[in-house]
Structure 1
Amino acid sequence: MKENTSLKTILNIVSVSLVAFSGIMAETAMNVTFPALSKEFHTNLNAIQWVTTAYLLAVTIMITTSSYLIKRYSSRNLWLVSIVFFVIGTLICGFSPNMTLLILGRVLEGISAGIAMPLVFNIVVATVPAAKIGVWMGIASMIISLAPSFGPTYGGALADTFGWRSIFFILLIAPTISLILGWKTVRAVKRHEIKGSFDGLAFVSLAIFLTSALLLVNKLESGKVDWTWLIVAIITLITFIIRGMTSKANFLNLKLFVKPKFIALLIPIALYMFILLGLNLIIPTYLQYFLHASSFWAGFSLLPGALIGALLAPIFGRLYDLKGAKIPLYLGNTIFTVVIVIMTLWVPKLSLPLIITLYILFIIGRNMAYTSAQTAVIVDEDSLEKADAMAIVQTLQMFMGALGTTVGALFQAKYGAVNGLQHFAWLAVVLSILIFGLFAIYFSKRFQVKRA
């Protein structure tokens, strides 16, 4: 039987992906403007990084609700709401006279992306033939990944010519295109209806935990542990776990955490995001402060690698469809690890051409493993748990992305542009070795299950 993906389904996926694309584009574009924002708002880089961290935190918190929202509301309504939040947030950012309003606008953009990102992948799972899920997960990832591909260059070019505010105004083109493509094609897809109410207590306790955890790490710049945030983080985490295991209301399905195979891919996915967004913050700042590159060239340094990685995502997805997860996971992480080791050893000698070359290889390895892990971790679950699995995966990876940004800014604030990059790179080496061990657990015969 020939299984084709209809034009309507394709436009559905592309339209929703563009909303997620828009938010991530703004996030990565702003990374190269940190020196300019620091001067305009008269504050340090560790404070400015909250322009990125607040966005990522908002995405993370919103994604925790995605399993409930996708089961409760139609995909069309969720898509339209995400566009409204993005447009309002973007206008606030563009006109913001101070840091407070800028961060508020970023939070609204984060809410938009937090709705759209899991919605994209759930639409893929619900509408694409099983034999082509790997390819279309790759295509959806490609569209979203084009944002960090173009973001830094886009942001650097506009910051150097029209100023950083223009970054937001021009971005309004993306949701406009999304509306044009999706008005007649984004429709409700089959979903598993739920009974019962939303678990507000579990949501609030998890949101407070995620926020306090980031604030705790951010406060480490002073060299001391903030015991208040530590206590809040511990109490809210315990509250969330107890509530999640005992409540009959709807939120995240914590029973997935008892599955070793799920955890063995969940953690690598999160670590890949931590390392990627940490380096995406550190490298442009390193180039501007140490090599005295312009905002444009600092942003451009990430473009070739991110663009190549995004365009290769469907190919990596096809490799998964044909060969399974083992080859792309191990091969991708091997390339990823080797490149990080080289980058770590050569930090004081890095030049712009060398950074561009290493980043290309870094992204190829990272995306090969990341795309396959994200596909496998969802495909492994039954239909009733796919939305929960996606919500957990994207919640943790976005939180780890926010954490990577915070840690990257902390390292550079504490150790300087050069040593900050080297310290973070050494941390990445350790984490990449840990990922090999987690892959070994995933493929262990002890935990193998037959796939339908």
Structure 2
Amino acid sequence: MEKVSLKTALGIVSVALVAFSGIMAETAMNVTFPVLTKVFNTNLNLIQWVTTAYLLAVTVMVTTSAYLTKRFSSRMLWLVSVFIFIIGTLIAGLANNIPVLLLGRILEGISAGIAMPLVFNVVVATVPHAKIGVWMGLAALVVSLAPSFGPTYGGVLVDTLGWRSIFFILLIAPILSLILGWRTVVAIERYPVKQKFDALAFSLLSIFLIVTLLVVNQLEQGRVNWLLVSIIIVTLVAFIWRGRHSKQSFLDLKLFTEVKFVALLLPISLYMFVMLGLNLIIPTFLQEVLHTSSFLAGFSLLPGSLIGAFLNPIFGRVYDLKGAKLPLYVGNWIFTIVVLIMAIWTQHLALISIIMLYIVFIIGRNMAFTGAQTAALVDVPASEKSDATAIIQTLQMFMGALGTTVGALLQAKLGGLHGFQIFGYLSIIIAILILGLIMLYFNASKKNA
């Protein structure tokens, strides 16, 4: 049986550490929102842009990953992502106002936007097919450890050394990445691109993503900016037209004509929407409604995230042995049951019950998410894998940003308790929709067999 060398393993871990760093900073900052609203004398809806700006930067940058992977070596991309992250983290840690803090977060997002798809591209390019599920799970494990530790890490530091220390201490991760990866991150096989980068398509998609979140964010004022809605429609239509007719290189939109790919792409992004929405809602609910400390609010997510992260390789192994059906169906049913309980019994939830429910939630979510992401990438031809990775990462990051925005919006408009409850009911609808998409995927698989 083919084995994965230590050098390959360390290279994968080194790249994953950069993605880990960005996600760690993002999830650690969620528990600081009540503190930052006082420090900068503003409201929660503005402060949540500390997370949303990061996620938007990741999303926009990930859209370029297919081109970057074909145009530049994986080693160069890794080094660039490390140094951009270090610069952004220093800026954020030294920020004395929100615009400077957002600049630092955007730079961190650009770094993570390079590193996150690169991790999975390296796995797909260097790991034998028989072990692809396990190593996709291991790559997800490194990245998933960030949301596991992030809220607790942030909560401890906010209560002791202050919010700025979140950034300064986090610099350990990119430095460790440099040490481990200097001799192990090597260039992977590329499919060189001869066409120029399609800057117009990139600009249209970026405008669409950013303006969409702005429109959702403005709903707190109870109004819809129809000019911005018009921009959303125009840029989306223009982007699709450009993608179908351009001779330049950006994203291969032909993947959206593949029923099997789309049927898994949507669940992947919807799982991210619900998880990042809850990752913002739960700590805020605990602090504002149950009056727990920042530490306990952050700690509430740690056991579930940690257990889910370490189970990812096992879920990958299940995929290797049994295929996608078991993890997708079982994982989604667990996910559905937990969000149903959260929605119905929101007002009766306490710290311990939230911790237990979140553990089960993450197990179900990660089981289905890992299976869906692996199956989606395995199904596409080798020459299209970087495009598939870029599309998957783009949409899941955008939906994660949207989940954060919707979560903050619901709690700002309805309060911590009712905002949590309504988000739970929304998650039930999403779970049912995902079930339908999973069924569509397996039906399409039978027809193609």
Shift of 1:446: 6.6
Give the partner amino acid of 2:188: V
Closer/same/farther in 2, CA of residues 446 and 33 from structure 1, 3 Å limit: closer
User: What's the secondary structure of 1:197's corresponding residue?
Assistant: coil
Q: Aligned equivalents of 1:338 and 1:12: distance in 2?
A: 38
Within a 5 Å distance, the mapping from 1:148-163 to structure 2 comes to 148-163=147-162
Shift of 1:449: 3.0
Residue 30 of structure 2 corresponds to: 31
Residue 440 of structure 1 corresponds to: 439
Q: Aligned equivalents of 2:395 and 2:39: distance in 1?
A: 33
Residue 79 of structure 1 corresponds to: 78
Within a 5 Å distance, the mapping from 1:157-196 to structure 2 comes to 157-196=156-195
- Range with bigger deviation, 308-317 or 235-244: 235-244
Give the partner amino acid of 1:416: G
Q: Aligned equivalents of 1:54 and 1:97: distance in 2?
A: 17
Residue 388 of structure 1 corresponds to: 387
Q: Aligned equivalents of 1:201 and 1:447: distance in 2?
A: 39
Q: Aligned equivalents of 2:179 and 2:447: distance in 1?
A: 45
Q: How many residues were matched structurally?
A: 449
Within a 5 Å distance, the mapping from 1:20-99 to structure 2 comes to 20-99=19-98
Q: Aligned equivalents of 1:128 and 1:404: distance in 2?
A: 33
Within a 5 Å distance, the mapping from 1:206-285 to structure 2 comes to 206-285=205-284
Identity %: 67
Deviations 1:107-131 (A, max 9, x none): 0000000000000000000000000
- Range with bigger deviation, 441-450 or 313-322: 441-450
Within a 5 Å distance, the mapping from 1:200-211 to structure 2 comes to 200-211=199-210
Residue 418 of structure 2 corresponds to: 419
User: Is the aligned partner of 1:331 residue 2:333?
Assistant: no
Q: Aligned equivalents of 1:127 and 1:446: distance in 2?
A: 26
CA contact (8 A) 1:336 1:365 kept: yes
User: What's the secondary structure of 2:290's corresponding residue?
Assistant: coil
CA contact (8 A) 2:268 2:372 kept: yes
Give the partner amino acid of 2:34: P
Relative to the length of structure 1, the TM-score reads 0.99
Q: Aligned equivalents of 1:115 and 1:231: distance in 2?
A: 30
CA contact (8 A) 2:342 2:424 kept: yes
Residue 142 of structure 2 corresponds to: 143
User: Is the aligned partner of 1:401 residue 2:408?
Assistant: no
Deviations 1:234-255 (A, max 9, x none): 1111111110010010000000
Q: Aligned equivalents of 2:444 and 2:160: distance in 1?
A: 57
Residue 288 of structure 1 corresponds to: 287
CA contact (8 A) 1:265 1:377 kept: yes
CA contact (8 A) 1:282 1:409 kept: yes
CA contact (8 A) 1:270 1:396 kept: yes
CA contact (8 A) 1:38 1:45 kept: yes
CA contact (8 A) 1:261 1:447 kept: no
Q: Aligned equivalents of 1:24 and 1:243: distance in 2?
A: 32
User: What's the secondary structure of 1:385's corresponding residue?
Assistant: helix
For structure 1, list consecutive stretches of 5 or more residues without a partner in the other structure.
Answer: none
Q: Aligned equivalents of 2:241 and 2:291: distance in 1?
A: 51
Q: Aligned equivalents of 2:296 and 2:441: distance in 1?
A: 40
Q: Aligned equivalents of 1:408 and 1:47: distance in 2?
A: 13
User: What's the secondary structure of 1:377's corresponding residue?
Assistant: helix
Q: Aligned equivalents of 2:448 and 2:128: distance in 1?
A: 22
User: What's the secondary structure of 1:444's corresponding residue?
Assistant: helix
Give the partner amino acid of 1:428: S
- Range with bigger deviation, 55-64 or 228-237: 228-237
Deviations 1:339-369 (A, max 9, x none): 1111111100110000000000000000000
Deviations 1:39-65 (A, max 9, x none): 010110000000000000000000000
Root-mean-square deviation (CA, aligned residues, Å) is 0.7
Give the partner amino acid of 1:408: G
Relative to the length of structure 2, the TM-score reads 0.99
